[in-house]
Copies of this chain bind each other. A is one copy, B any other.
């Protein structure tokens, strides 16, 4: 479902096939614990917030014809994202109270739908008679896309089709309005395109795929944008989708749109779609992506900046944009089988996405800047509350992204402790993966059940690791990696063990010199994890925004079981600056040097920051060699 989980089992142009829902189960580890918190806390917290923020009231007013709409116009989508999350969760384990809550929510949604199938509480309550009058900003199709995703989750994971019926009626209405020979229009916020492809996959009704490509094909014709304050690039409406050379505009819109573009490719095989997606992806990772995988550096447009425009403190990096990138990378992985896309899924998940989710499951970051003076703190909810329920649906469905299959075998993309149960020709493949990833360097894959014919097990070799080792039953694997994966091709026996070792050294990374927030600076990384210097870990009085690191001083890492749910902390030598004298913006450099003193720097994973007392934080740390050079 898209963006979100995909069922491409019948997509003719997929290089990799998704596993049916329920084929994977997290058993232990970072992702498993996040999913548990999501289940036990976030989903209930979200339900409460949807009640207090007015989302359910808006839908009730739509049903009853009375009441005053509250919140921004896309409030319905938060309900749908929450329902999608609940759907994925319920499909994994029974949960009667949650099921009851979901049923009530579906009832509220269903009651809100107009007789003709139209459903959007904002227009129904606040601007009746103005349906489809503001395609750039109205978000009507966007909301319906999320409705479809929620419906598909409930249907696939729980076999509950009540919301799917609502969806079917809603899109039957949409099809009376939009299409060739009818109204030519596209929604300002992409989402419906990928959702329609997924509806097609679920129903095999080709009208949905036709409508998806209709919406894709009419982008770039200037139907959106214009006006005094918004340029077409903001809406990815400057050029037709097949012609785009660079990625631009609102980052969530962009990645959702490109998810839809790749979804359409997966069904149609139209090479121009994939080529365009590749070009834009390359532009993003080469010029416009934070070290954390975060994207969309411009606050005002929530959008991509120019090449290398990646400020730290003013950086935006919306959680939803990182999630959108994850969804897009997933589709690129499915389309191509190339591990680089899984590398970026991993990078983005463990850094730019998880950073948005507080350890308690009830506090969130909407923005994920790479530094802060301490003013940036997690919130329980946001007026524009897209990110929290987006995190919920991703966490509930994260198992979906771990592995895929092909006629030749199974591919493992992300590491954690989990079980795979993949139906394949001639039986099923059951694997048990054990790892304390991303903290420890070993991933053990045990074959539990296997068909008797030979098949290939592919395990991703992340590009961050320069010296990966793979052994099969203790014997080093010598074969050349393929597409970024070690491939073990053999006839398997239950009990066979593949051991993947990914040595994790803490190390320093530099950015292109044009990235001005990182000039003459380094960031600490270890494995896939980007680190940061957070105030509360430092010596008293040390402000993370003032520290320098001694790049030749070495980095020491240590496992701390009780810290932030268990994590590897890294220490380094550096210096800190005393800000006491800094009342002015600018001072003679000669006055600055004496204010530095040597300190030990303590770094934690970026995605874990902001979970203790508020304070400063910095990912990029200028390079200096102690107090003498440290001016």
Binding site for B on A (CB under 8 A): 137, 228-230, 285-287, 289, 291, 298, 300-301, 305-306, 308-309, 311-314, 371, 373, 507-517, 519-522, 543, 545-546, 548, 551, 577, 579, 582-592, 622-625, 629, 631
Instruction: Flag if A585 contacts B512 (CB, 8 Å).
Output: yes
The residue on B at minimum CB distance from A622 is B520
Instruction: Flag if A588 contacts B509 (CB, 8 Å).
Output: yes
Measured CB to CB, the closest approach of chain B to A386, in angstroms, equals 16
The residue on B at minimum CB distance from A290 is B585
Given contacts A289-B585, A520-B624, A589-B508, contact A546 B229 (CB under 8 A): no
Instruction: Flag if B308 contacts A311 (CB, 8 Å).
Output: no
Interface of A is mostly: loop
Among B314, B509, B622, B629, point to the contact of A519 (Cβ < 8 A): B622
Instruction: Flag if A587 contacts B311 (CB, 8 Å).
Output: no
Closest 10 CB pairs of A and B: A520-B622, A300-B300, A508-B589, A513-B546, A510-B589, A510-B592, A516-B517, A229-B229, A522-B589, A519-B622
List chain B residues, Cβ under 8 A from A230. Answer: 229
Given contacts A313-B516, A521-B519, contact A286 B624 (CB under 8 A): no
Measured CB to CB, the closest approach of chain B to A77, in angstroms, equals 17
* Alpha-carbon separation in the docked complex, A592 to B518 (Å): 13
* Alpha-carbon separation in the docked complex, A286 to B313 (Å): 18
Among B509, B585, B588, point to the contact of A515 (Cβ < 8 A): B585
List chain B residues, Cβ under 8 A from A514. Answer: 313, 373, 545
List chain B residues, Cβ under 8 A from A228. Answer: 137
* Alpha-carbon separation in the docked complex, A308 to B579 (Å): 14
List chain B residues, Cβ under 8 A from A510. Answer: 586-589, 591-592, 631
Instruction: Flag if B515 contacts A516 (CB, 8 Å).
Output: no
Given contacts A286-B584, A373-B514, A514-B545, contact A629 B625 (CB under 8 A): yes
* Alpha-carbon separation in the docked complex, A230 to B228 (Å): 12
What are 26 pairs between A and B in contact, CB < 8 Å? A291-B586, A300-B300, A300-B301, A306-B314, A309-B314, A311-B311, A312-B516, A313-B514, A507-B589, A507-B590, A509-B587, A509-B589, A510-B587, A512-B582, A512-B584, A513-B543, A513-B545, A513-B546, A513-B577, A516-B516, A517-B517, A520-B521, A520-B624, A623-B631, A625-B629, A629-B629
List chain B residues, Cβ under 8 A from A289. Answer: 585
Measured CB to CB, the closest approach of chain B to A130, in angstroms, equals 15
Given contacts A510-B589, A589-B507, contact A551 B519 (CB under 8 A): no
* Alpha-carbon separation in the docked complex, A439 to B291 (Å): 44
* Alpha-carbon separation in the docked complex, A507 to B591 (Å): 12
